[in-house]
Every structure is written in structure tokens, then in C-alpha cells.
Amino acid sequence: MFNKQLKADYAEALAELAEYKQAYGSLKSEMLHFELEPDGKIIQVNPRVENELKVNLNAVSGRPFTQFIADDSSASNECQKVVQAIKEHRHWSGTLDVKFGEKTFSLSIILQPFFSAKNRCTGIDIFAKDLTARVEASRSHEDILDALNRSMAIIEFTPTGQIIDANRAFLQTMGYSLDEIKGKHHRIFCSRELADSQEYQQVWHELGQGKFISERFQRFDKQGRSVWLRASYNPVFGKDGKVYKVVKFASDITAMVEQEQRALEASTMASQMSGETGDNAAKSQQLMSKMVDTLVALTGQMKKASTEIGELEEQSTALNQMVSAISAIADQTNLLALNAAIEAARAGDQGRGFAVVADEVRELASRTTDSTKEIMAVFSRNDQSTKDAVATIKQGLETLDKVTGQIEETKASIINIEQCSQKVIAAVDQLSSS
């Protein structure tokens, strides 16, 4: 009876041992495996260690495992725990940075000592998993988050908008402490009109559904002052695919927005001034056009007057010639009357009547001569006046031509000013709309 029980226990022990050996073998084949002496010196490594960590057994055999702990980790608590566990032959698990050759590896380690029936340590096994790639990626992500945390304002919300956490940059930007805002709703940063709007409710509904939102937002700090943020609201999904929080990354662009507003005000003023300049230029252009038309008409009238005065001068010349002819006839008549008086004197009493007629004729010829001289003098003065008037009109026409040319140049300059004003207005409008 006793032997049967003993055999059964022995068979069970063998089966259990076979399972342990199978598990042990699986661990040795699936994981990085180091075999150590009780004092911690390496005596064997499996192929995975040689292939993945590029470890040559000859290079590590007989050397303490702790000798390969990376310098950065040698002073850490984890390193001290490993050293103590090897020394005291205790089980230990954790992560450790080791260095083989020039490369450092991050390993997840299980350190397991083995004991004999007399409770004496016969060796130490180290099973490890290479986490280098995962740790480097995690550290990279942490570095990125640290950089973002230093350079950006960050705040976290529940999917419905309650504040979970905020970094120092955000708190400084908005003038709050974390205790003042934690647990409150995002609407404390918004105007009442926005917070009560249907649009605002829709934004948080969309964020809760996982929609990413990024644009420029106007918010208000603790003192009620306007703060402009260029921000993105980023839904964060859990393993179940549902949004469990919303992270907002923001940059304070208040100074830039205020500068844009001042520039817009200046451009609006410039546009108005350019518009007024353009209007004034257009009015000036119309006035100049009317002035040019008036001068052109005046020039035409003066040319016509000059032509008429020229014709008057020609007629005056013809009349002068006629007066000269009359004067010559009067002189000849006077001479004939004188000759007739002489002949009448010779005839005595018979020529007395004829002598009276001759005297009258001579008297008439004399008055005709005097009148002709006066007319000649008048015509001479008129002729000179006409010549002076023609010269004056000619000079006036030359002056009008110069003035008209100057007005045309001024008109062209005003048109150019108007065109430049229109270009300025177009440029300002384009700047304002961009």
C-alpha cells in the first residue's frame, strides 16, 4: 500500500517536473537567457542573447553580470536592488539598462536563483526581454511631451468639457491657479453669448464624438481681458474606442491679433483717405476738363476775333486808299479852281460870275482836303490800334496754348493720382481680406 502511494507520488512528481522542464525550456528559447554562478559570474548565454544583443560568450564568460550594467543606471535604486538580489540570492524583477560593446539595451529582467535540497544556491538564471525599441519610443514621446509642455499652453477636459488638468503655461496665460479651475467647465473662459449659444454646445458634442478642431479662438482671462489663442482640441481615445478626454494645445497670439487689428484699422483709414483722394482727383479732373473746354472755346473765340480784326485791318487799308484818292482829287480840284480864278480875272467883268464859282469850288476843295487829312489821321491811328490788337491777341493765344498744355499735364497728373488711389484701395482691400 505504501509502495503504491510512493510510486504514485513519484510519477506525479516526474510529470510535474516534466512540465517545469517544458516551461523552463520554452522560457530559455523564447527569452534572452543568462546562466550565472552563485557569485553572479556569467557561465552561459542562449542564442537569442548572442543574436539580439550581439554578445559573444567568450567575451562575457567568467565576468560578473553586474559589470555590464550601463553607467547611467549604475547609481540607480534598480541597480542597487539587482546587486543586492544576486548577493543575497533573492528573486528580483524589473527593468535595467545594460551595455554590451558600444550599445545600451533596456531589458525587462526576471532574476531567479536556484537552490539544492540543502537550500544551497546552485546558480542564478536571468530571463530578459529586450524593451529597447519600446523604451526609446516612450522616451521620445516623453521628450516631445516635455517640449510641448514647455512651449505650449496645455489643458485637459472630460469629453463634456470639465477641466481635469492644466500646465503652468496655460495657467499663466489665463491668470488662474489649477485649484481655481479644476472641475469647472470650459465655459469660464468664454463670453456669456458664446457659452449660451447652440454653436458652443455643438462643439463639445462633436469633440465627444471624436472630431478634431483647430482654429483661432477668443477667450477671456481671470480679469476679463481678451486673450487670443491659436489652439487645437484633440480627442483622446481609450482601448474601447471611446473618447475619455480632450487635450487642448494652445499658443497665445494676443499680441499678433492686436497688431493685425491695428494694421486693419490703419489700412481702413488708408483706404478711406485713398478713396477721398480718388474722389477729389476725379472732381479735379472734371474741373480741369471743363477749364480746358473753356480755354479751348476762348481760344477759338480769340482766333475768330483775330481773323475779324485782320479783315477789319484789310478794310481799313482799302478805306485809307480811297481817302487817299479823294485827297488827290481834292488837290486836283483845288488846282483847277485856282486856274479857273486866274482865267476869270483875265476875262474881267465877263468872268466875274465864274470867279465866284471858282472861289466856292476852291473853298470846298480846301475843306475836303482838311477832312481827308483828319480821316487819314484817324485811319492811321485805327490801323496802329488794329495792329496792336492783333499782336496782343496773338500773344494771348500763345499764352492760352501754354496754359492749356499745363492744364493738360495737370489733368494727366490728377488722373495718375486717381489711378494710384484706386490701386492703393485695391491693395488695402486685398490685405484686409487676406
Angle (CA) 268-271-275 rounded to 5° is 140
| Max avg pLDDT among 68-82, 172-186, 311-325, 353-367 | 172-186
CA count, 13 A, side-chain hemisphere, 262 = 6
Q: Is the dihedral of CA 29, 32, 38, 44 positive or negative?
A: positive
Element housing 418 (H / E): helix 352-433
Set of cell numbers at residue 316 = 481799313
Q: Which residue has the higher pLDDT, 173 or 280?
A: 173
Highest-pLDDT range among 242-251, 297-306, 335-344:
242-251
Averaged pLDDT for residues 357-375: 67
380, pLDDT greater than 60: yes
The percentage of residues in the chain with a pLDDT greater than 70, rounded to a whole number, is 61
The pLDDT score that the predictor gives to residue 396 is 67
Query: How much is the pLDDT for 208?
Result: 95
Please report, as a single letter, which amino acid is at residue 371: S
**Residues 274/421, Cβ–Cβ less than 8 Å:** yes
Q: Is the pLDDT of residue 41 over 70?
A: yes
List pLDDT tens digits, range 312-341. 666 667 666 666 666 666 667 666 666 766
Give the β-pairing of 32-36 and 121-130: antiparallel
Q: Are 100 and 53 in contact (CB under 8 A)?
A: yes
Cell triple for 321: 486808299
- From the number of C-beta atoms within 10 Å of its C-beta (0-12, 13-18, 19+), residue 299 rates as middle
Query: Which domains, from first to last, does the chain contain?
Result: 31-131 (3.30.450.20), 152-252 (3.30.450.20), 259-433 (1.10.287.950)
Provide the 10 A C-beta neighbour count for residue 50: 14
Compute CA distances 62 → 38, 39, 59, whole Å: 12, 10, 9
Given a contact cutoff of 8 angstroms between Cβ atoms, the answer to whether 15 and 112 are in contact is no
pLDDT tens for 72-128 read 776 778 888 999 999 999 999 999 999 998 899 999 999 999 999 889 999 999 999
Alpha carbon distance 346, 330 (integer Å): 24
The torsion angle over the Cα atoms of residues 282, 286, 288 and 294, rounded to 10 degrees, is 180
**Cα(263)–Cα(29) distance, rounded to whole angstroms?**
71
Instruction: Evaluate if pTM is beyond 0.75.
Output: no
Beta carbons within 8 Å of 44's beta carbon, 6+ residues apart: 34, 35, 57, 61
Which pLDDT does position 392 carry in this prediction?
74
Show the cell assigned to 140: 521620445
Q: Is the pLDDT of residue 351 over 60?
A: no
Residue 264, pLDDT score: 73
Query: Percentages helix, strand, coil for the chain, rounded to the nearest 5?
Result: 65, 20, 15
